[in-house]
C-alpha cells in the first residue's frame, strides 16, 4: 500500500484519490468547511465512477506523516461524517503503522439502499423502424438528421455501424431530476453514464433489441431475459405494421408486459398515411384484446402513465427529426409507475446471468437484471448450476450500474457484478447467481402448459425446439401429456426436457419456444426433481 502512494504521487494519477494529513472536529466539521469537503468527496466519487479512495496521515505530496492514535481516530470519525453528508459510507478501511504513527487507506462508496427510482423498458420493432434512432434522440436530447445520426450511439459493433443494423442487445439510459430530463452528450461515454446515474433521482433504462428477422432469437432474449417493467414497440409510419411487428408484439404480450407503441417517422409521410397506419395499429391491438389510447397532449401522457396496465395501450406519434411527440414520451416516462418491488426485496437475492465479461483490473463480471432481493459488496453467494448440476461459491467484489459503482443493488436494477472464486470458463448465460438461502434447484425436466401459435404440421413426442425462459436459451425435447399431437391453435400440457444441461427454473415462469417458423408460448407448471 505504501508503495502505491508513491506511485500515485509520481505519476500524478489522482483521479478519485485524496490525501489528507489529518482531519479535526473543531475545524473540518464547521458547516462551510464540511460542505466544501463533502463537495470534494462527491467529485472524487464521480471521477471514480461511484468510489473514492482517501489516504489519512498522508500529506498532499504523498509523504507519510502518520498520526498518533487519538488524532487518527478523530480523523476517521470526521471522514465518516463527511461521507454521511453525501449518502456515502466506508466500504473498506485498511490501517497501517509507520515510524511516525498510523495511516489509513479508506474506500468510500454509496450507502446500500440508496438506489434510485428505476424503470426498465424493452424496445422492439422491425428493422429500420427507428428503434435505435428514437432511443439515441431521447437519451441525448439531440434531433436526428434523417440519416440515423443518433442511432450510432446504440450500435457499437463495427459491422452494426457499417450496415446500420443492430445485431445484439444494447442498453441506453436517461434520467430525471424533479421534472427535468437529464441527457448525456455521448451515451457511449462510460463516465457520462456514470454521472447521470449519480445525479438523477429517477432512471429509465432501455434494452434495445434487434429488428432484423435472422436475429429474432436475440430479440426474444432481450424481452424474456430481462426483468422488464414495460415494452416499447416502434412502428414506422412509412411502412406500417409488418409480420415482425406482430411477432414482437406477441412476445411482449406473452410476458404480460404493459405496452407503449410509438408511430415513428411521421415526418416522412402525409397525414392520410399516418391515419391509415394508426387505424391498422388500432385493429391489431383490438384483435389481441387491448385497448388503444391515442396520446396527443401532455395531459394525455400523464393520465395514461398513471393508469396504464396490460390492457390499456398508449399510441404516440413521434419524429426523431422534427422532435414532434418527444415531449409526450418524456412526460410519459416521467410519470410511469415504478414497479412494486417491496415483496421481492424481502426475498433472498437472485439474478439470471445474461452476459459474462473479463475486465482488466476488475476480473470476472456477470451482468443481468436482478429478479429479487438485494445484493451488497462482499456478499457470499452461489452460482450455477454447472455441468454437474452443482452450485459454486463466489464472493461479490464490486457492483456497477451503467458503469457507476454502487454498494448495493436491488430488484429491477440492471447491474454488472464482479465476482471472485470461479473461472470465467465455468460460467454461461442462463445460470443464476443468488443468495445461499435461495431455493436453488438444478432442473432437467418440467411440465408446462403451452399454446401452439404457429406450426405447419403437429407437435408429437420427440419434437425439439429452442425454448427461452429468463436468460436461458436451450433446446428442449417435448412430449404431449394429454393428447398424442398438438397442432396450431391447440393448448395442452407437455413434458419438456432440456437436451444438454440443467438449469434453475421455477413454477409460474413464462416461456417462449421457437423452431423455424413454428412457435408457441407457455408457463412452467411443475418441476420434476
Could you report the per-residue pLDDT of 81-134, keeping only the tens digit for each?
Answer: 999 888 888 988 999 988 889 999 999 987 765 456 788 898 888 888 888 889
Residue 385: cis peptide before it, omega within 30 degrees of 0: yes
Best CA proximity match to 512, nearest among 251, 166, 191, 177 = 251
Using CA atoms, how far apart are residues 136 and 148, in angstroms rounded to an integer?
A: 9
Q: What's the mean pLDDT in 244-263?
A: 88
Domain range 117-335, CATH architecture: 3-Layer(aba) Sandwich (3.40)
Best CA proximity match to 520, nearest among 481, 483, 484, 476 = 476
Full-model pTM = 0.73
**Cα-flanking dihedrals φ and ψ of residue 193, to 5°?**
-65, -40
- Of 80-94, 229-243, 329-343, the range with the lowest mean pLDDT is 329-343
Using CA atoms, how far apart are residues 232 and 121, in angstroms rounded to an integer?
A: 7
Query: Do 450 and 494 form a contact (C-beta atoms < 8 A)?
Result: yes
Bridge partners for 494 per DSSP: 448, 480
Q: What is the reported pLDDT for 259?
A: 94
Predicted confidence (pLDDT) per residue in 276-295, tens digit = 999 999 999 999 899 999 99
Q: Which residue matches cell numbers 448450476?
A: 385
Domain range 445-528, CATH architecture: Beta Barrel (2.40)
**Cα-flanking dihedrals φ and ψ of residue 195, to 5°?**
-65, -40
Using CA atoms, how far apart are residues 36 and 54, in angstroms rounded to an integer?
A: 16
**Strand residues in 111-229 grouped as ranges (E):** 117-125, 170-177, 180-182, 202-208
Q: What is the reported pLDDT for 419?
A: 95
Q: What's the mean pLDDT in 474-480?
A: 94
Q: Percent of the chain beyond pLDDT 70?
A: 88
Using CA atoms, how far apart are residues 522 and 514, in angstroms rounded to an integer?
A: 12
Q: What's the mean pLDDT in 137-145?
A: 88
Using CA atoms, how far apart are residues 55 and 383, in angstroms rounded to an integer?
A: 35
Domain range 344-435, CATH architecture: Beta Barrel (2.40)
- The answer to whether domain 2-110 and domain 117-335 are alike in fold is no
Which CATH number is correct for 2-110, 3.30.110.10, 1.10.340.70, 3.30.70.20, 3.30.360.10? Answer: 3.30.110.10
Predicted confidence (pLDDT) per residue in 399-437, tens digit = 988 877 887 888 888 899 999 999 999 999 999 999 999
Q: At 519, which helix (H) or strand (E)?
A: strand 518-528
Whether the per-residue pLDDT at 34 is higher than 70: the answer is: yes
Q: What is the CA radius of gyration of the chain?
A: 26
Instruction: Find the DSSP H helices in 341-477.
Output: 342-345
Instruction: Find the DSSP H helices in 58-207.
Output: 69-85, 131-140, 158-163, 190-199
**Boundaries of every domain in the chain:** 2-110, 117-335, 344-435, 445-528
Burial zone of 396 (CB within 10 Å; 0-12 exposed, 13-18 middle, 19+ buried): buried
Using CA atoms, how far apart are residues 238 and 266, in angstroms rounded to an integer?
A: 8
Q: Is residue 139 helix, strand or coil?
A: helix
Whether the per-residue pLDDT at 152 is higher than 70: the answer is: no
Q: What is the mean pLDDT of the chain?
A: 85
Amino acid at each position: 500500500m505504501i508503495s502505491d502512494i508513491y506511485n500515485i504521487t509520481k505519476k500524478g494519477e489522482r483521479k478519485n484519490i485524496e490525501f489528507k494529513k489529518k482531519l479535526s472536529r473543531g475545524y473540518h466539521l464547521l458547516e462551510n468547511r464540511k460542505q466544501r469537503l463533502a463537495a470534494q468527496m462527491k467529485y472524487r466519487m464521480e471521477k471514480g465512477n461511484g468510489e473514492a479512495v482517501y489516504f489519512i496521515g498522508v500529506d498532499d505530496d504523498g509523504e507519510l506523516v502518520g498520526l498518533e492514535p487519538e488524532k487518527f481516530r478523530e480523523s476517521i470519525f470526521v471522514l465518516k461524517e463527511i461521507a454521511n453528508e453525501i449518502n456515502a459510507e466506508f466500504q473498506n478501511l485498511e490501517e497501517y503503522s509507520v515510524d511516525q504513527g498510523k495511516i489509513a487507506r479508506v474506500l468510500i462508496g454509496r450507502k446500500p439502499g440508496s438506489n434510485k427510482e428505476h424503470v426498465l423498458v424493452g424496445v422492439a420493432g422491425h428493422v429500420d423502424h427507428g428503434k435505435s434512432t428514437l432511443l439515441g434522440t431521447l437519451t441525448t436530447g439531440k434531433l436526428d438528421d434523417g440519416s440515423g445520426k443518433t442511432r450510432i450511439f446504440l450500435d457499437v459493433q463495427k459491422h452494426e455501424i457499417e450496415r446500420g443494423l443492430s445485431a445484439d442487445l444494447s442498453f441506453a439510459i436517461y434520467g430525471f431530476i424533479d421534472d427535468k430530463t437529464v441527457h448525456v452528450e455521448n451515451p457511449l461515454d462510460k463516465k457520462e453514464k456514470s454521472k447521470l446515474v449519480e445525479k438523477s433521482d429517477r432512471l429509465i433504462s432501455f434494452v434495445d433489441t434487434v429488428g432484423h428477422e435472422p436475429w429474432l432469437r436475440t430479440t426474444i432474449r432481450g424481452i424474456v431475459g430481462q426483468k422488464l417493467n414495460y415494452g416499447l414497440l416502434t412502428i414506422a409510419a412509412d411502412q406500417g405494421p409488418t409480420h415482425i411487428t406482430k411477432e414482437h408484439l406477441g412476445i411482449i404480450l406473452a410476458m404480460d408486459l404493459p405496452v407503449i407503441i410509438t408511430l415513428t417517422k411521421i415526418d416522412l409521410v402525409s397525414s392520410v398515411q399516418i391515419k391509415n397506419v394508426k387505424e391498422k395499429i388500432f385493429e391489431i391491438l383490438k384483435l389481441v384484446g387491448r385497448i388503444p389510447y391515442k396520446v396527443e397532449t401532455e395531459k394525455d401522457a400523464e393520465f395514461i402513465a398513471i393508469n396504464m396496465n396490460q390492457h390499456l395501450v398508449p399510441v404516440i406519434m413521434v419524429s426523431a427529426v422534427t422532435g414532434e411527440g418527444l415531449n409526450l414520451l418524456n412526460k410519459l416516462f416521467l410519470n410511469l409507475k415504478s414497479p412494486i418491488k417491496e415483496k421481492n426485496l424481502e426475498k433472498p437475492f437472485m439474478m439470471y446471468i445474461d452476459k459474462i465479461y473479463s475486465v482488466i483490473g476488475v476480473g470476472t463480471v456477470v451482468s443481468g437484471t436482478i429478479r429479487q432481493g438485494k445484493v451488497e459488496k462482499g456478499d457470499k453467494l452461489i452460482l450455477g448450476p454447472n455441468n454437474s448440476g452443482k452450485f459454486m461459491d463466489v464472493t461479490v467484489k464490486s457492483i456497477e450500474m451503467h458503469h457507476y459503482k454502487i454498494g448495493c443493488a436491488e430488484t429491477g436494477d440492471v447491474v454488472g457484478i464482479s465476482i471472485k472464486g470461479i473461472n470465467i470458463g465455468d460460467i454461461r448465460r442462463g445460470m443464476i447467481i443468488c443468495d445461499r438461502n435461495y431455493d436453488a434447484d438444478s432442473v432437467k425436466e418440467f411440465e408446462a402448459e403451452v399454446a401452439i401459435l404457429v406450426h405447419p404440421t403437429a407437435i408429437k413426442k420427440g419434437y425439439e425446439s429452442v425454448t427461452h425462459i429468463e436468460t436461458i436459451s436451450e433446446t428442449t425435447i417435448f412430449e404431449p401429456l394429454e393428447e398424442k399431437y398438438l397442432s396450431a391453435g391447440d393448448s395442452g400440457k407437455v413434458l419438456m426436457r432440456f437436451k444438454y444441461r440443467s438449469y434453475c427454473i421455477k413454477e409460474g415462469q413464462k416461456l417462449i419456444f421457437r423452431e423455424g417458423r413454428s412457435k408457441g408460448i407457455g408457463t412452467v407448471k411443475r418441476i420434476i426433481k
